[in-house]
Chains A and B, each alone.
Chain A
């Protein structure tokens, strides 16, 4: 396992858990939960500086981008234009080239607008960005994204923040078989067993925010997700036994009295 590293855009990571930094009660709770998760990548959003109240805490003061990789995202963007603008600004803050693209299409279910997502991926790739793409689990669109130069394919397990777990395992399995770049489950994880399932299906990583931030005890859930991802990965690499509908005794009959 020592050499089992996650490789994204030529960068190597030991942890296969990527965590979000939103929805926590405060920055301190967020920083502590992230520390416990063991994650080496955190997603961050780009927003206006509060110019009227400069006393508000700043994310960078709690989570050091030199120690943990910031993955700027386009949360809240509903058009390609807004997503491109956001990521160009993110790059300008400090040279971030590996980014997470998400272009939403529906305010209620937060499903991605795949047409705008594909357009944005093409433009960003040409501009030198390494684009990790939040997408739906449609194998055809995911293939198009990969062909457009996406650095990671990140299908949803279920709507963002829903905690419903993996809804379409068939599609995730198809995606696992066809995807050459890292395949990362992004959105919809609700509990540790969902993360284990994703990893056991051969996904390269999972991205989790709400399941940790909105757990009754975010710190325990953060650790739980850390171990779930490790357990799921080891289980996948081990190669599971062949399932059998009939029972098979674990103890030899030899010497039975």
Chain B
């Protein structure tokens, strides 16, 4: 694989390498997560989930994907 065609991103604190022109939707699908159960931050900005197919990731992007867990 040519490294030029890859970018490095950080998802929930973990480093991942993905292809160029990789969209947020691609990422969510890869993680097998249902978009109606999560919220997404891209570089500390909340992302509109309806637009994730149009948002393409860049090198060093930081993504946070959260959901609800048990809590008091």
- The interface of chain A, by Cβ under 8 A from chain B, is 20-24, 27, 30, 43-49, 51-52, 54, 58-60, 70, 72-73, 75, 85, 88-90, 92-94, 160-161, 187, 207, 209-210
Chain B contacts of A161 at CB under 8 A? 72
A-contact bits for B17-49, CB 8 A (1 contact / 0 none): 000000000000001110011111100101001
Chain A contacts of B13 at CB under 8 A? 48
Do A46 and B68 touch across chains, with their CB atoms under 8 A apart? yes
Do B66 and A89 touch across chains, with their CB atoms under 8 A apart? yes
Chain B contacts of A88 at CB under 8 A? 46
Do B71 and A49 touch across chains, with their CB atoms under 8 A apart? no
A25 to B49 alpha-carbon distance, docked (Å): 33
- 16 A-B residue pairs with Cβ-Cβ distance under 8 Å, sorted by A, are A20-B72, A21-B71, A22-B71, A44-B71, A45-B69, A46-B68, A46-B69, A48-B64, A49-B66, A59-B67, A70-B68, A72-B68, A89-B66, A92-B40, A92-B46, A187-B72
Looking at A48, A75, A161, A207, which has the most chain B CB atoms within 10 Å of its CB?
A48
A207 to B12 alpha-carbon distance, docked (Å): 31
Chain A contacts of B36 at CB under 8 A? 94
A210 to B72 alpha-carbon distance, docked (Å): 8
Do A45 and B68 touch across chains, with their CB atoms under 8 A apart? yes
Give the distance to chain A from B16, nearest Cβ to Cβ, in Å. Answer: 8
Task: Say which residue of A20, A54, A59, A160 sits within 8 Å of B33 (CB atoms).
Answer: A54
Q: A23 with B39: in contact, given A48-B66, A51-B14, A54-B32 (CB under 8 Å)?
A: no
- Enumerate the 10 nearest inter-chain pairs by beta-carbon distance, A residue then B residue, closest first: A45-B71, A20-B72, A209-B72, A92-B39, A21-B70, A89-B39, A44-B68, A48-B12, A22-B70, A22-B71
User: Quick one: closest A residue to B47, CB to CB?
Assistant: A92
Chain A contacts of B72 at CB under 8 A? 20-23, 43, 73, 75, 160-161, 187, 207, 209-210
A45 to B66 alpha-carbon distance, docked (Å): 10
Task: Say which residue of A20, A58, A60, A89 sits within 8 Å of B71 (CB atoms).
Answer: A20
Do A49 and B65 touch across chains, with their CB atoms under 8 A apart? yes
User: B7 on the interface (CB 8 Å rule)?
Assistant: no
Chain B contacts of A72 at CB under 8 A? 68
Give the distance to chain A from B60, nearest Cβ to Cβ, in Å. Answer: 18
Do A92 and B11 touch across chains, with their CB atoms under 8 A apart? no
Give the distance to chain A from B32, nearest Cβ to Cβ, in Å. Answer: 5
A245 to B46 alpha-carbon distance, docked (Å): 63
Chain B contacts of A75 at CB under 8 A? 71-72
A94 to B46 alpha-carbon distance, docked (Å): 13
Give the distance to chain B from A88, nearest Cβ to Cβ, in Å. Answer: 6
Give the distance to chain A from B45, nearest Cβ to Cβ, in Å. Answer: 10
Do B66 and A47 touch across chains, with their CB atoms under 8 A apart? yes
Do A93 and B70 touch across chains, with their CB atoms under 8 A apart? no
User: Quick one: closest A residue to B44, CB to CB?
Assistant: A85
Do A93 and B69 touch across chains, with their CB atoms under 8 A apart? no
Chain B contacts of A51 at CB under 8 A? 11-12, 14, 31, 65
Chain A contacts of B66 at CB under 8 A? 46-49, 89, 93
New A-B contacts (6) at CB < 8 Å, excluding given A44-B69, A44-B71, A93-B38: A21-B69, A44-B70, A59-B68, A72-B68, A90-B68, A209-B72
